[in-house]
Amino acid sequence: FAELHAAVPGLPLASSRVLPGIVLRRDFAVYCPTDGELRALLVTEPLRPALTAPGVEFVVDSEGQYQASLRWIAERTEALMKHLQSNNVKLLLSSVKQEEVVIYYAKLYGLSVVECLSSEEMALIGEITGVCPYSPFDDSMDREITETAVVTFCQPLLLVSKRCVHIGFTSVCAFQPHCLILCGPVDGVNEQHAAALQEAFTMLQQLFKTVDQ
């Protein structure tokens, strides 16, 4: 329930509404508008390539080596973004904050990016779409990317002064997600309403389980 409702203080209760899809309570790191359906990837690791394996020290002896390392990182990052673009990926949903070089090339190649999703949000999206996180550096740049989720819409949403991301997914299961925008004068009232609604949904869930049995 926590990932399927957003509390908005400062508005009357009558302004509450139900929206299709889910609302992520953070802004885009990069937003590139698109029309129609698009492909999205879940990522749980930095997309900036590492110069060495984990735990291995990388020593730079000169300014020339340092600049060469930066060029290599930029070239590899650009190649990855080209690969994503060629597979019609238009949205990256990341549980980690991506570095500036990733953001730069994502914008250059028309990929929207949302960062710092919680583990609960990632799990919910995985349940809805049936896809697993993408591991870019275990992949060949020649292989078709199959770990993509179908997104029916992806757009900014302004809730009073809070910028959010509103996304609709094609669900692979019977569950069709909707998000409750719960409005109230202050946070305390919203919390009370949210708790009451959660209890009501829990009771209904138990009731339907009993009927099914």
Domain boundaries, the chain: 1-17+181-213, 22-176
* Strands 162-169 and 22-24, bridge-based pairing: antiparallel
The answer to whether the CB of 165 falls within 8 A of the CB of 13 is no
CATH number of 22-176: 3.50.7.10
CA gap 181, 13 in Å, rounded: 10
- pLDDT number for residue 204: 59
In angstroms and rounded to an integer, the radius of gyration of the C-alpha atoms of the chain is: 21
CA gap 153, 38 in Å, rounded: 8
Tell me the torsion sign for CA atoms 14, 20, 25, 27. Answer: negative
- pLDDT number for residue 34: 87
3-state secondary structure at position 49: coil
DSSP 117: -
CA gap 183, 107 in Å, rounded: 34
CA gap 22, 15 in Å, rounded: 18
Q: At 86, which helix (H) or strand (E)?
A: helix 63-86
- pLDDT number for residue 193: 62
Nearest Cα residue to 35 out of 151, 174, 131, 120: 151
In tens digits, the chain (213 residues) has pLDDT values of 566 667 777 677 777 888 999 999 999 999 999 888 899 999 999 998 776 555 555 566 677 777 787 888 899 999 999 999 999 999 999 999 999 999 999 999 999 999 999 999 999 999 999 999 988 766 566 678 888 999 999 999 998 888 999 999 998 887 788 888 887 766 666 676 666 666 665 665 666 666 555
Give phi and psi for 96, each to the nearest 5. -120, 160
Q: Which amino acid is at 61?
A: D
Question: What six digits make up the tokens of 111?
Answer: 């990929």
